[in-house]
């Protein structure tokens, strides 16, 4: 069974790097058919790291919804319309199915060959050597598209009296057959989550797919599971620190390229060990990885910081979503976003556009409020742009600048410094 290793939506460097490295470790330790995926736009800094390390980045996969194409039964035969009716009936009998789909000469779906539809044809003692194209076929009321999410068509399909559903592609070409019993089967893939455990922050479709493992360094807010799963969590500054520990525990040594990937995740998430989330474990593991990679965290961080400013390379609409996390607490629904920016003048120049983009997010996602934390890792401080209900805004413990932006000297961590203050403000 396919296993995807996936970080949170609106991916950052740590989530993408930890997914890549953990997929590598799981392959080494015997897990078959495992793949790291990126559930959104690959961050520019992450793209630089993969190019620097000489590794192909994880492919972008924006959801894990189970779709009709995943449930098509490849063992159910297809009948070509040019086949003689007698040969088609023999194929139908040998298949053990009650009906089979018929494919026209151009590849499109022509109808279902069903004995029930042929009763009058048999009674008329018609020639059985005619091509199937000339025989009466059953035209299904429910033809499925291979791209349909199963949750959209399940109810109608289960209420249908037929057990066989023809599946076509976007051009109407016949793909195969979905059998009703497939709705009761397990999804054809499963998930390993890294750098998050909250369903609201996960890839769309997460709630439809079994999660078999979680590796995370955030607060635990994971939904109940039907079966025991492997869960690795600790108070460290980076999920890449935990994945590196797992290599050591398994007696494995990451390759030079994977070591560089892991260093990048640690350096990015701890802001080069300046963030208050940084622990001695992050520093110790990073020193071990530097020996393997034959390069320093400082050099890798410098390379990532050389990538253009997000406020220069992205429109405001993308910037506010590039690293945004959704929370639901104390009856409030809100988003905390964060970007790194060493040129704060760009931030102030773009405040109006960012406010418009944030207001659009609030409306689209039905939020009570949204806050954008702009962090300067060089100066060791952040500034906060807030949009939404005033009651929370008034409770935030930060001084406001001339343009209404909150000033946050010494604040670098969304998780450890900003989120607790926001939770206190809404409680």
**pLDDT tens column, 131-146:** 999 988 988 768 999 9
Q: Residue 181 in contact with residue 78, Cβ under 8 Å? A: no
Q: Are strands 381-388 and 369-376 parallel, antiparallel or unpaired?
A: antiparallel
Residue 194 and residue 49 share a domain: yes
Strand partners of residue 381? 376, 409
CATH of the domain at 117: 3.10.580.10
Q: Percent of the chain having pLDDT more than 70?
A: 100
- Choosing from 132, 154, 184, the residue where a domain stops is 184
pLDDT of residue 427: 87
More confident residue, 97 or 119: 97
Distances in Å between the Cα of 378 and the Cα atoms of 104, 248, 312, 385 are 65, 32, 18, 20
Residue 271 banded pLDDT, cuts 50, 70, 90: very high
Measured over the CA atoms of residue 270, residue 271, residue 272 and residue 277, the dihedral's sign is: negative
Q: Nearest 5°: phi and psi at 383?
A: -130, 150
Instruction: Indicate if 381 and 239 belong to the same structural domain.
Output: no
Residue 348's contacts (CB-CB under 8 Å, 6 or more residues apart) are 403, 405
Instruction: Kindly tell me if the per-residue pLDDT of 120 is higher than 90.
Output: no
Find, among 264, 316, 239, the residue nearest to 48 by Cα. 264
What CATH number should be reported for the domain holding residue 324?
3.10.310.20
Single out the residue of 178, 175, 207 nearest to residue 191, CA to CA. 207
* Residue 368 pLDDT > 80: yes
The b-or-e profile of 352-365 (16+ CB within 10 A means b, else e) is eebbebbeebbeee
Would you say residue 28 has pLDDT above 90? yes
At residue 269, the pLDDT reads: 95
Mean pLDDT value of segment 252-261: 98
Q: What whole-number distance in Å separates Cα of residue 336 and Cα of residue 327?
A: 8
Give 367's strand partners.
none
Q: Which of 280, 305, 330 is the last residue of a domain?
A: 305
* 407 shares a domain with 354: yes
Please tell me the predicted confidence (pLDDT) of residue 226.
85
179/263 same-domain check = no
Predicted confidence (pLDDT) at residue 316 exceeds the cutoff of 80:
yes
pTM, two decimal places: 0.83
* CB neighbourhood size of 349 (10 A): 11
Instruction: Answer with the one of 117, 150, 184 that is the final residue of a domain.
Output: 184
* Same domain flag for 138 and 206: no
pLDDT in tens, 404-419: 899 999 999 999 999 9
Cα–Cα distance, 374 to 384 (Å, whole number): 6
**Dist. CA 281–CA 245, nearest whole Å:** 9
Helix/strand/coil (H, E, C) string of the chain? CEEEEECCCCCCHHHHHHHHHHHHHHHHCCCCCEEEEECCCCCHHHHHHHHHHCCCCCEECCCCCCEHHHHCECCCCCEECCCEHHHHHHHHHHHCCCCEEEECCCCEEEEEECHHHHHHHHHCCCCCCCEHHHCCCECCCCCEECCCEHHHHHHHHHCCCCCEEEEECCCCEEEEEEEHHHHHCCCCEEEEEECCCCHHHCCCCHHHCCEEEEEECCCCCCCCCCCCCEEEECCCCCHHHHHHHHHHHCCCCCCHHHHHHHHHHHHHHCCCCCCCCCCHHHHHHHHHHHHHHCCCHHHHHHHHHCCCCHHHHCCHHHHCCCCEEEEEECCEEEEEEEEECCCHHHHHHCHHHHHHHHHHHHHHHCCCEEEEEEEECCCCEEEEEEEECHHHHHHCCCEECCCCCEEEECCCCHHHHHHHHHHHHHC
CATH of the domain at 284: 3.90.1640.10
pLDDT at 103 over 90: yes
**Position 299 pLDDT exceeds 80:** yes
Are 287 and 347 members of one domain? no
| pLDDT value at residue 307 | 87
Asked whether residue 198 falls in the same domain as residue 165, the answer is: no
Same domain, 147 and 52: no
Report which of residues 55 and 161 the model is more confident about.
55
| Residue range(s) defining the domain that contains residue 334 | 310-426
Residue 214, pLDDT above cutoff 80: yes
- In the chain, the number of structural domains is 3
> pLDDT-derived band of residue 161, with 50, 70 and 90 as boundaries?
confident
Same domain, 108 and 249: no
Grade residue 224 by pLDDT with cuts at 50, 70 and 90: confident
**Per-residue pLDDT at 241:** 98
Please indicate, yes or no, whether residues 200 and 293 belong to a single structural domain of this protein: yes
CA separation, residue 300 to residues 11, 160, 293 (Å): 19, 58, 10
Can you tell me the distance from the alpha carbon of 379 to that of 374, in angstroms, rounded to the nearest whole number?
12
Average pLDDT across the chain, whole number: 94
Are 75 and 211 in a shared domain? no
CA 202 – CA 213 distance, rounded (Å)? 14
Do 66 and 209 form a contact (C-beta atoms < 8 A)? Answer: yes
At 234 the pLDDT is: 97
C-alpha angle 281-283-284 in degrees, rounded to nearest 5: 65
pLDDT of residue 403: 87
Q: What is the pLDDT of residue 343?
A: 85
Same domain, 21 and 83: no
């Amino acid at each position: 069974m396919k296993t995807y290793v996936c970080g949170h939506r609106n991916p950052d460097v740590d989530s993408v790097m930890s997914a890549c490295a953990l997929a590598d470790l799981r392959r080494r330790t015997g897990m078959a058919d495992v793949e790291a995926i990126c559930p959104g736009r690959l961050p520019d800094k992450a793209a630089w790291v993969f190019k620097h390390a000489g590794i192909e980045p994880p492919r972008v996969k924006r959801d894990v919804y189970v779709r009709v194409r995943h449930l098509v039964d490849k063992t159910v035969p297809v009948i070509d319309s040019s086949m003689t009716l007698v040969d088609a009936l023999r194929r139908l009998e040998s298949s053990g199915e009650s009906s089979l789909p018929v494919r026209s000469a151009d590849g499109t779906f022509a109808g279902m060959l069903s004995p029930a539809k042929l009763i009058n044809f048999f009674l008329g003692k018609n020639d059985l050597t005619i091509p199937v194209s000339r025989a009466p076929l059953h035209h299904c009321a429910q033809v499925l598209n291979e791209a349909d999410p199963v949750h959209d068509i399940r109810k109608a399909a289960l209420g249908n009296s037929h057990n066989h559903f023809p599946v076509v592609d976007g051009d109407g070409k016949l793909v195969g057959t979905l059998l009703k019993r497939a709705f009761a089967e397990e999804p054809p893939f499963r998930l390993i989550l890294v750098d998050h455990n909250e369903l609201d922050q996960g890839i769309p479709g997460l709630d439809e797919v079994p999660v078999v493992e979680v590796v995370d360094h955030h607060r635990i807010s994971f939904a109940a599971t039907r079966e025991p799963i492997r869960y690795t969590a600790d108070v460290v500054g980076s999920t890449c620190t935990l994945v590196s520990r797992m290599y050591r525990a398994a007696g494995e040594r990451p390759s030079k390229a994977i070591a560089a990937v892991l260093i990048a995740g640690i350096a990015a998430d701890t802001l080069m060990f300046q963030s208050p989330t940084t622990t001695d474990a992050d520093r110790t593991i990073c020193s071990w990885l530097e020996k393997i990679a034959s390069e320093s965290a400082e050099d890798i961080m410098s390379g990532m910081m050389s990538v253009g400013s997000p406020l220069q390379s992205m429109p405001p609409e993308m910037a506010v979503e590039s690293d945004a996390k959704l929370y639901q607490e104390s009856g409030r629904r809100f988003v905390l976003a964060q970007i790194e920016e060493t040129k704060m003048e760009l931030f102030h120049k773009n405040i109006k556009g960012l406010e418009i983009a944030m207001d659009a997010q609030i409306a689209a996602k039905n939020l009570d409020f949204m806050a954008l934390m702009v962090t300067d890792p060089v100066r060791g401080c952040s500034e906060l742009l807030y949009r939404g209900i005033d009651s929370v805004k008034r409770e935030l413990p930060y001084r406001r600048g001339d343009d209404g932006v909150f000033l946050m000297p010494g604040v670098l961590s969304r998780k450890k410094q900003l989120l607790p203050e926001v939770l206190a403000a809404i409680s």
